[in-house]
Amino acid sequence: MATTRATWLDDLSKGFKRHRQGRPGWNIEHKRDRLRVVSSELPPRPDEPQGAGAKRRAITLQSPPGAATQLQAATEAAEIFDAVMAGIFRWPDPNGLDADSQTHLTPKALLTLITGLKGELLGEKLIQRTWDKTYQPYFDKLVAIDGQQHWASDAALLHAVLRTWAANTRSRQIAHDKLRRLWKQAKWDWPDQIRSMRGNGAAAKPVAGVKGFKDDEVDELRLRIQASYRLTDADLVAWDVLQCFGLRPKELQFFSLLHQDGQLVCKVLRETASIKGKEGFRIVGAAPPRSWPDDCHGLYKRWKKHVIPDALMDKVSPSEVLTLQLDRLKKSSRKISCEIDSDLTPLGCRHGYAVRIHTDLNLTSKEGADVMGHSEAVHLSAYGQVLDTPKTLSKFKRN
């Protein structure tokens, strides 16, 4: 017994035929749960051998079958026909990265896209360690959540991913920007409703600005390290380098000390390769507390002799080891002259250095930013409040 053809499908085929003005060789078929346009005039697919001749090919419509979506399907089929006739038809990306493809939000498609972005950035703009720490974790989260269910839209997936970080935190800001960079790579439109989720990062910004080691705390820390039975001369070198040159803890793995024009300086590998004419490293001058001698307690000779401990060099994040050391030192009963602020972290060495290069050496914000290896905007955002408030208040003093 013959199967009765659905009325809506007959109407759809007739409407498509009218649009083609009777041009033969084109059909709309209902196969399984999808609609597709079939014609020998469709061009070869990108994955077909070069020079493949004319044959019947099919392209699946995004519109689902049914009477309710008949007009949508007719419009989509007409657009395909017009594009073929005009010679501008393009098959969807075989990797599923076409924004109109139903597969563009699958984990497989996202992993292909992530691999492409990594290939573009790695070496030219980023080193592997920077990618692993500042890009990969956010993309891992994206792929993991994407694999939990089928997502009807980009906005639905992105909303689910970004909400895993608290609103107005720096973490969500970074996640938003990394995911948007991925969408830009694919040339997908960034949903308008997701823009507001970026926030302003205010929740992560200290009200009183960053907290750095004060000079007396630097001296106290040195004395406690020397008195510690757990820490070695090499550990003291690592901490002194952080204090003298304001390095990030992870930069302990990518620096060297040298004498330049009779002055002790530190040569630090930049996280990114040559950008805007800058070389792949920066030169940093020493800015220890005023109580320190010019040779920074013989730092160059001590570094040559002891180098940086393997416990720091072998870690993906030296900060983890340094944080544990600092926590023990802060709790030590061997207080020499003063307490060490309980809120200080290893990054406090860098913050203390930033304050000294401005208050003691009078560097400009641009000079300070260049020395510390970031933009002037980031430098002012982090240290502007600490540096400008005393300067502003001093103007109220009477002579």
pLDDT in tens, 141-170: 999 999 888 888 899 999 999 999 888 887
How far apart, in whole angstroms, are the C-alpha atoms of residue 352 and residue 374? 16
Whether 102 is in a domain gets the answer no
Closest CA to 288 of 218, 220, 338: 218
> 63-104, pLDDT tens digit by residue?
888 898 899 999 999 999 999 999 998 877 655 555 455 567
Q: How far apart are the first and last CA of the chain?
A: 107
> 178-236, pLDDT tens digit by residue?
999 999 888 888 998 898 888 876 654 454 557 899 999 999 999 999 999 899 999 99
Q: Do residues 276 and 177 share a domain? A: no
Write out the residue range of the structural domain in which residue 187 sits: 107-204
Q: Do residues 282 and 376 share a domain? A: yes
The dihedrals phi and psi of 110, each to the nearest 5 degrees, come to -65, -40
Q: Is 247 exposed, middle or buried (0-12, 13-18, 19+ CB in 10 A)?
A: buried
Whether 26 is in a domain gets the answer yes
- Rounded mean pLDDT of the chain? 84
Distances (CA, A) of 48 to 55, 57, 91, 94, 380: 12, 11, 12, 11, 56
Tokens of 377: 């905007």
Whether 396 is in a domain gets the answer no
Q: Do residues 230 and 377 share a domain? A: yes
How far apart, in whole angstroms, are the C-alpha atoms of residue 371 and residue 361? 13
Q: Do residues 381 and 239 share a domain? A: yes
| Cut 0.85: pTM above it | no
Q: Do residues 244 and 376 share a domain? A: yes
Q: Do residues 151 and 28 share a domain? A: no
The total of structural domains in the chain comes to: 3
Tokens of 202: 């205010």
Q: Do residues 197 and 236 share a domain? A: no
Listed residues 86, 115, 134: the one ending a domain? 86
The three-point CA angle 258-263-264 to 5° equals: 40
User: Is the alpha carbon torsion for 211, 217, 223, 228 positive or negative?
Assistant: negative
Listed residues 178, 204, 230: the one ending a domain? 204
Listed residues 204, 229, 249: the one ending a domain? 204
Q: Do residues 53 and 199 share a domain? A: no
Q: Do residues 254 and 355 share a domain? A: yes
